[in-house]
Structure 1
Amino acid sequence: MGKAGEIRVIALGLIRDGERIFVSEGYDPVKQETFYRALGGGVDFGETSHAALKREFQEEIQAELTNIKYLGCIESLFTFNGKQGHEIVQLYQCDFVDSKFYQLESLIFSESQHHKHKALWMDISRFKSGELRLVPEVFFEYL
């Protein structure tokens, strides 16, 4: 989350393996709702979104990416933890270099000292059926 009243630019990686995608699990304490989104993170000043994507995957789960292809831009307006958020999402399709990531059930990574996140493979059908929530919703257009 950026500062209040700030538009944040983030780069997310859509990693697909057949009928499943690799996502991180989030939780909104105010809505008491679990949601999922692709991995990635903020683009730093002076950094391209392509470079940010690679750096974020390296930092968060020590993963190298390959076959990185730009998919498009999503403008995301949302409320998280009771606060209004505004993100410009640069979305990329990519693959893991190391095949071990395709064998994983799940992994725990930390975005900061206080936040532990779980990343895991989820069947796309579970999002399409509405059983699980994928954010931003526009993501479906790319699946």
Structure 2
Amino acid sequence: MNKPGRIRVITLGLIQDGDRVFVSEGYDPVKQETFYRALGGGIDFGETSLDALKREFQEELQAELTNITYLGCVENLFVYDGKAGHEVIQVYRCDFVEPRFYQLESVTFYEGTHAHQALWVKSDRFKTGELRLVPEAFVEYL
């Protein structure tokens, strides 16, 4: 997570399959709110955002990506767990190499010792506001 007063540079991969999008589920204990986000993570010093995207998917899901296209950059100012955060996000559209990922309903992955759930969600649930996709600018890419 963010260090206070620091801008975090991350990369996220938007994977869609028809009317579904692959996202991780998060929960803010202060707001008592569930939210969803595309998968990815931090860019290390000396690493390109594309290399970081591939590394993060490999680390988290043991998944390879293909058809990777750069979509743009999103700046995200937010409050999570009562703390202010600031991210600059390099956004890519991509696909899984292995077809099995499209058949999964959900998959558990770990970031350090924290377990997270990734799942397929119908895009319309974000477009109507029924579910919250973060950052909110991501809805424009669906």
Normalized against structure 2, the TM-score is what?
0.99
What secondary structure is seen at the aligned counterpart in 2 of 1:15?
strand
The match for 1:23 is 23
Which structure 1 segments of 5+ residues have no match? none
1:122 paired to 2:84: no
The match for 1:59 is 59
Identity value in percent = 73
> How much has 1:55 moved relative to structure 2?
0.1
The match for 1:13 is 13
Task: Quote the Cα distance in structure 2 between the aligned partners of 1:72 and 1:127.
Answer: 20
What secondary structure is seen at the aligned counterpart in 1 of 2:55?
helix
What number of residue pairs does the alignment pair up? 142
Structure 1 segment 1-143 matched on structure 2, within 5 A: 1-113=1-113, 115-143=114-142
Give, as a single letter, the amino acid of the residue that structure 2 aligns with 1:129.
T
Task: Quote the Cα distance in structure 1 between the aligned partners of 2:141 and 2:130.
Answer: 19
What secondary structure is seen at the aligned counterpart in 2 of 1:130?
coil
CA RMSD of aligned residues (A): 0.5
> How much has 1:140 moved relative to structure 2?
1.3
Normalized against structure 1, the TM-score is what?
0.98
